[in-house]
């Protein structure tokens, strides 16, 4: 790749991506360099392919796995701190060291792509390409999840209508068993892959008796669907099929769960999902392979690259770099206690991405607002803010250390960072027991990530004592409290009356009580309140609801006021996106 012609200081990310795409490796060349067989590729054009994971893993079952590296971060600003950019930069950096390396990142949701955050393809000279394909639907996984999720709701609302309108005799003639669904205890809503706050609450079924059963319902963003969680944690198609059949859609009037299997829709849902179980193969700007699978939003979902993508990457390379969403309090905690438990895999190293910008915010800097110019405190040297803000970084270092892993702190270099500010971070991180590297992958690509790659290589070759925060048989309430106290720094946990009733039901259920918590919490603070920065003390985590994801295999405590359907801002990204009508190329993505 001719990176010397690509200048992040003067070019937008989409312009860099389009320039680099002219020298992309064709998908068969990329696959051949990875050691893949032609028939293990399911091509989706010249530069994209699904991978036949089943045959790949079967063929390579006896091969030794590569080193397993997770990338997480500190508590970010609303702008994000470049975690995907760093993941891709590390892949490129390891490539610059001559290592055989693969990466695994999550597919972006249409919500942030068309809203404030934009795409999640990385940035500068550390991107995943082709960018427009990556950002705009890719190979259809999220569409499959959306359709399968909504099919479950079609099955539920149809059954409600028929049971309400017909006698037992008529239902029997129609070969339907009465499920006695309680319309006031419907657990699922509908899904759409946009940030659509107008769909958070609604009433459906208005009209005549053939227009559906009147009921209150809601939409959630598609990537928060239990189906996305199942895609992330499933080991194979058989496992995915079994998990989809366990999804609880509602409860009957006696309080018993009504599953997708009860509605006899689980097979059809799996049929819609069957192609989505294969990861998508893409590449970095420098031609290293990247597997894209599962989705974002670790604040309202599991937010991990899939177990299947990681399994494939670990067999195909000596170093496999995977990504967890948001800060270590959310993304790494779920990687550690949920994903690693499901996969039975021990990571060899963990990277914590930090920026001077975010540390200044945690040190008391002015509010960071997307779309507004940053205050001068963030673009000029201010060592006092950095000194105060490193307490947030130290909290995340301690979180990773509690898993038995010695972390590597990556200072994601911005052009406005000063040496004095970076030295403060290095000193604090090393004092806390972490390796530290400054990485300039955004500006220089793989060459700029050499220091980071060397630090990660050292850490990955060091033995660790990986251990879970809790055991399966730890009482569920205690699991939540351990996360709140040990990871977030809370004094304890409180439950609303509704959540208290639900947590009692979890504790009394032999299956649910053994599941781990998949916390729903703001990513903008270690606490439940996005306005509280730094390392908060003297607070209690308020749990207002409990969701049960029997198919995915975890219970979801919902803390604070966070919602499963984000909202679209007044100046969304879609205003900048367009198409060159001469070439058909998309422009304006960021």
Kindly give the pairing relationship between strand 248-252 and strand 586-587.
Answer: unpaired
Give the count of alpha carbons within 13 A of 48, CB side only. 17
pLDDT computed for residue 3 by the predictor: 43
Concatenated DSSP letters for 153-188?
Answer: HHHHHHHHHHHHHS-HHHHHHTT-----EEEEEE--
Does an H or E element contain 498, and which?
helix 497-507
Per-residue tokens: 267: 């097979």
Angle between helices 266-273 and 237-245 (to 10 degrees): 140
- Reported as a single tens digit per residue, the pLDDT across 250-300 is 999 999 999 999 999 999 999 999 999 999 999 999 999 999 999 888 888
190 is an active site residue: no
Distance CA 301, CA 226 (A): 8
**Residue tagged active-site, from 50, 67, 99, 117:** 117
pLDDT computed for residue 121 by the predictor: 87
Same fold, 27-138+276-460 and 141-273: no
**Residue tagged active-site, from 190, 326, 332, 554:** 326
pLDDT computed for residue 570 by the predictor: 84
- Reported as a single tens digit per residue, the pLDDT across 222-250 is 999 999 999 999 999 999 999 999 999 99
**Residue tagged active-site, from 50, 67, 99, 106:** 106
Residue 347, pLDDT above cutoff 50: yes
- Reported as a single tens digit per residue, the pLDDT across 539-574 is 999 999 999 999 999 999 999 888 889 899 888 889
Residue 153, pLDDT above cutoff 70: yes
106 is an active site residue: yes
533 is an active site residue: no
Per-residue tokens: 343: 């996969």
152 is an active site residue: no
**Residue tagged active-site, from 77, 84, 85, 280:** 85
What architecture does CATH give domain 476-559? Roll (3.10)
Distance CA 123, CA 86 (A): 9
pLDDT computed for residue 4 by the predictor: 46
298 is an active site residue: yes
442 is an active site residue: yes
**Residue tagged active-site, from 232, 298, 328, 552:** 298
- Chosen CATH of 141-273 out of 3.30.870.10, 3.30.1510.10, 3.40.190.10, 3.30.470.10: 3.30.1510.10
**Residue tagged active-site, from 134, 342, 442, 476:** 442
* Segments making up each domain of the chain, as ranges: 27-138+276-460, 141-273, 476-559
Most distant CA atoms of the chain, gap in Å: 80
**Which residue from 191, 510, 468, 195 is spatially nearest to 344, judged by alpha carbons?**
468
- The three-class DSSP label of residue 104 is strand
Are 31 and 281 contacting, i.e. CB atoms less than 8 angstroms apart? yes
**Residue tagged active-site, from 12, 196, 383, 414:** 414
pLDDT over 70, % of the chain = 99
pTM, entire model: 0.95
- Mean pLDDT for 497-503 is 96
253 is an active site residue: no
206-220, 385-399, 421-435, 449-463: segment of lowest average pLDDT: 206-220
- Reported as a single tens digit per residue, the pLDDT across 97-132 is 999 999 999 999 988 888 887 788 899 999 999 999
pLDDT computed for residue 388 by the predictor: 98
Per-residue tokens: 220: 């959630």
- Chosen CATH of 27-138+276-460 out of 3.40.50.300, 3.40.50.2300, 2.60.40.420, 1.20.210.10: 3.40.50.300
- Mean pLDDT for 401-418 is 97
372 is an active site residue: no
**Residue tagged active-site, from 83, 360, 435, 521:** 83
């Amino acid at each position: 790749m001719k990176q010397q012609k690509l200048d992040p200081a003067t070019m937008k990310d989409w312009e860099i991506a389009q320039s680099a795409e002219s020298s992309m490796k064709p998908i068969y060349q990329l696959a051949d360099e990875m050691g893949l067989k032609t028939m293990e590729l399911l091509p989706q054009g010249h530069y994209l392919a699904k991978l036949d994971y089943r045959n790949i893993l079967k063929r390579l079952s006896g091969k030794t796995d590569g080193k397993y590296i997770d990338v997480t971060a500190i508590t970010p600003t609303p702008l994000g701190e470049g975690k995907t950019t760093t993941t891709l930069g590390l892949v490129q950096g390891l490539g610059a060291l001559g290592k055989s390396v693969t990466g695994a990142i999550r597919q972006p949701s249409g919500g942030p792509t068309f809203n404030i955050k934009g795409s999640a393809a990385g940035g500068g000279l550390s991107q995943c390409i082709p960018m427009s394909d990556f950002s705009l639907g890719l190979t259809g996984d999220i569409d499959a999840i959306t359709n399968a999720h909504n099919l479950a709701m079609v099955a539920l609302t149809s059954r409600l209508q028929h049971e309400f309108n017909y006698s037992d005799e008529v239902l029997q003639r129609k070969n339907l068993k009465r499920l006695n669904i309680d319309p006031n205890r419907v657990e699922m809503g509908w899904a759409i892959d946009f940030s659509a706050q107008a769909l958070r609450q609604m009433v459906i079924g208005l009209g005549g008796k053939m227009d559906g059963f009147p009921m209150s319902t809601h939409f959630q963003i598609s990537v928060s669907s239990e189906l996305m969680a199942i895609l992330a944690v499933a080991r194979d198609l058989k496992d995915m099929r079994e998990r989809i059949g366990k999804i609880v859609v509602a409860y009957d009037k006696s309080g018993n769960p009504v599953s997708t299997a009860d509605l006899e829709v689980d097979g059809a849902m799996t049929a819609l999902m069957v192609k989505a179980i294969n990861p998508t193969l893409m590449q970095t700007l420098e031609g290293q392979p990247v597997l894209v699978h599962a989705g974002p939003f670790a604040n309202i979902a599991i937010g991990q690259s899939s177990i299947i993508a990681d399994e494939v990457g670990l067999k195909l390379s000596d170093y496999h770099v995977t990504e967890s969403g948001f800060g270590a309090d959310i993304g790494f905690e779920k990687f550690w206690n949920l994903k690693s438990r499901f996969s039975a895999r021990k990571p060899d190293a963990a990277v914590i991405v930090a920026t001077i910008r975010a540390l200044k915010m945690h040190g008391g800097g002015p509010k960071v607002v997307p779309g507004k110019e940053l205050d001068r405190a963030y673009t000029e040297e201010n060592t006092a803010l950095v000194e105060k803000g490193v307490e947030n970084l130290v909290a995340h270092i301690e979180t990773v250390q509690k898993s038995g892993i010695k972390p590597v702190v990556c200072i994601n270099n911005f052009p406005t960072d000063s040496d004095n500010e970076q030295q403060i971070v290095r000193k604090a991180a090393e004092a806390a027991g972490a390796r530290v590297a400054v990485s300039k992958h955004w500006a220089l690509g793989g060459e700029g990530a050499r220091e980071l790659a060397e630090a990660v290589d050292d850490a990955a070759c060091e033995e660790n004592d990986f251990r879970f925060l809790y055991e399966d048989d730890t009482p569920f309430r205690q699991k939540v409290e351990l996360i709140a106290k040990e990871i977030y720094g809370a004094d304890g946990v409180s439950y609303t009356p509704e959540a208290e009733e639900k947590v009692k039901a979890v504790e009394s259920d032999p299956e649910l009580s053994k599941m781990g918590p998949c916390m729903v919490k703001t990513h903008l603070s270690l606490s439940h309140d996005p306005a509280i920065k730094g390392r908060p003390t003297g607070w209690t985590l308020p749990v207002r609801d409990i969701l049960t994801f029997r198919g995915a295999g975890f219970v979801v405590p919902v803390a604070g006021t966070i919602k499963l359907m984000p909202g679209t801002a007044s100046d969304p990204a879609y205003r900048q996106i367009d198409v060159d009508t001469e070439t058909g190329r998309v422009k304006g993505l960021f």
